[in-house]
């Protein structure tokens, strides 16, 4: 094959891959991972603790039902995202109870995939070694509103939660009253 045909083929292939990646990014919309250390909040209790807690939060009220203020002296970090965030963004959260220890790397976001009918948050989860106490860890992403009819959370490829926010099923398992 002549060198210029090879170059055209390679350039066309690279352009096709770039367009595919851009289309996938546009479909998912802008996704921002929230850092738990940016907020003075903790995830409330849920049962059973062996299962993950998943939430598709569309408002500050939803945030406050899932995450609770943790008052600390001398800290100026906010308890929650700014009020304006909820105008056009939602927060998708997955949490787990894990043995206390190095929990900063318990969750790793593998990706967020969005179609017209569903959005999937794909994570890798690695628990700390057994310990004498436990703690709650969470991973959350901001996504563009409106949310599709189905929100799924996958862990190591397996669906661990499926929510239907428009039908009132925005958190699983249900929070204690």
Query: Is residue 56 in a domain?
Result: yes
Query: Is residue 12 in a domain?
Result: yes
Asked if 40 and 106 sit in the same domain, the reply is yes
Query: Is residue 110 in a domain?
Result: yes
Query: Is residue 163 in a domain?
Result: yes
Query: Is residue 88 in a domain?
Result: yes
Q: Which residues of the chain are modeled with pLDDT < 70?
A: 1-29
Asked if 104 and 44 sit in the same domain, the reply is yes
Domain region containing 117? 31-172
- Determine the pLDDT at residue 153: 98
Query: Is residue 76 in a domain?
Result: yes
Asked if 23 and 110 sit in the same domain, the reply is no
Asked if 7 and 39 sit in the same domain, the reply is no
pTM of the model: 0.81
- Determine the pLDDT at residue 87: 97
Tell me the torsion sign for CA atoms 97, 103, 105, 109: positive
Domain count, the chain: 2
Asked if 25 and 40 sit in the same domain, the reply is no
Asked if 5 and 40 sit in the same domain, the reply is no
Asked if 75 and 85 sit in the same domain, the reply is yes
- Determine the pLDDT at residue 75: 79
- Determine the pLDDT at residue 3: 58
Query: Is residue 155 in a domain?
Result: yes
Q: What is the pLDDT of residues 119-144, one digit of tens each?
A: 999 999 998 888 999 999 999 999 99
């Amino acid at each position: 094959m002549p060198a210029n045909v090879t170059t055209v083929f390679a350039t066309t292939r690279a352009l096709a891959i770039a367009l595919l990646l851009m289309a996938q990014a546009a479909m998912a919309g802008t996704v921002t991972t929230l850092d738990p250390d940016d907020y003075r909040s903790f995830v409330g209790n849920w049962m059973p603790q062996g299962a993950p807690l998943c939430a598709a939060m569309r408002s500050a009220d939803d945030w406050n039902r899932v995450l609770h203020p943790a008052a600390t002296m001398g800290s100026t970090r906010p308890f929650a995202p700014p009020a304006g965030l909820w105008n056009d963004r939602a927060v998708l959260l997955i949490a787990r109870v894990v043995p206390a220890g190095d929990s900063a790397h318990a969750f790793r976001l593998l990706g967020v995939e969005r179609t017209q009918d569903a959005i999937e948050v794909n994570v890798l989860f690695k628990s700390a070694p057994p310990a004498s106490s436990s703690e709650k860890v969470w991973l959350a992403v901001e996504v563009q509103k409106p949310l599709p009819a189905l929100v799924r959370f996958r862990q190591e490829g397996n669906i661990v939660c499926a929510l239907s926010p428009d039908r009132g099923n925005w958190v699983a398992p249900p929070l204690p009253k």
